[in-house]
């Protein structure tokens, strides 16, 4: 299941997912969720060039956050689909393109967590 800004999107193939990502990329700020059948989920939050990922291994899991540059100082604000604004460490930010690659990996591998990304338990 692909949910963009709180709205479900019917996406059944990696080709459809690629086209959907192209559409999502036109938005500078968004909340995007991928939910696999086994209960795992991957969320991408974006604010312009700042983006981070959260991986949940099951419903109710507190999750793992992506780590980009641990030396990065400050915070980044993300507006969630419900209007709430959350603030996370800038050290959690990844390049937007790297987030898209991780989402595609999660999509085609039925919910596997991308192993090349450094994760921190939250």
pLDDT at 82: 95
Distance between CA atoms of residues 23 and 19, nearest Å: 6
- Which residues share a beta bridge with 43? 33, 54
- CA distances to 12, 13, 38 from 45, rounded to whole Å, are 22, 22, 22
Residue 109: both structure tokens together: 């591998």
Distance between CA atoms of residues 47 and 116, nearest Å: 23
pLDDT at 106 over 90: yes
pLDDT at 49: 94
The pLDDT confidence band at residue 14, using thresholds 50, 70 and 90, is very high
Residue 110: phi and psi, rounded to 5, are 50, 45
pLDDT at 67: 96
Q: What are the tens digits of pLDDT across the range 30-77?
A: 999 999 999 999 999 999 999 999 999 988 888 999 999 999 999 999
Q: What are the tens digits of pLDDT across the range 21-31?
A: 999 999 999 99
Greatest Cα-to-Cα distance within the chain, rounded to the nearest angstrom = 39
Listed in sequence order, the residues at least 6 apart from 14 whose beta carbon sits closer than 8 Å to its beta carbon are 104, 107, 108
pLDDT at 103 over 80: yes
The pLDDT confidence band at residue 91, using thresholds 50, 70 and 90, is very high
pLDDT at 122 over 80: no
């Amino acid at each position: 299941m692909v949910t963009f800004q709180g709205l479900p999107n019917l996406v059944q193939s990696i080709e459809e997912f690629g086209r959907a990502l192209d559409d999502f990329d036109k938005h500078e700020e968004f909340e995007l969720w991928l939910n696999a059948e086994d209960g795992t989920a991957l969320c991408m939050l974006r604010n312009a060039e700042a983006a981070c990922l959260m991986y949940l291994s099951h419903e109710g899991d507190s999750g793992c956050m992506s780590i980009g540059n641990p030396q990065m100082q400050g915070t980044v604000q993300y507006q969630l689909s419900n209007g709430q604004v959350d603030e996370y460490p800038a050290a959690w930010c990844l390049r937007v393109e790297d987030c898209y690659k991780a989402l595609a990996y999660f999509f085609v591998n039925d919910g596997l967590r991308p192993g090349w990304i450094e994760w921190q338990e939250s």
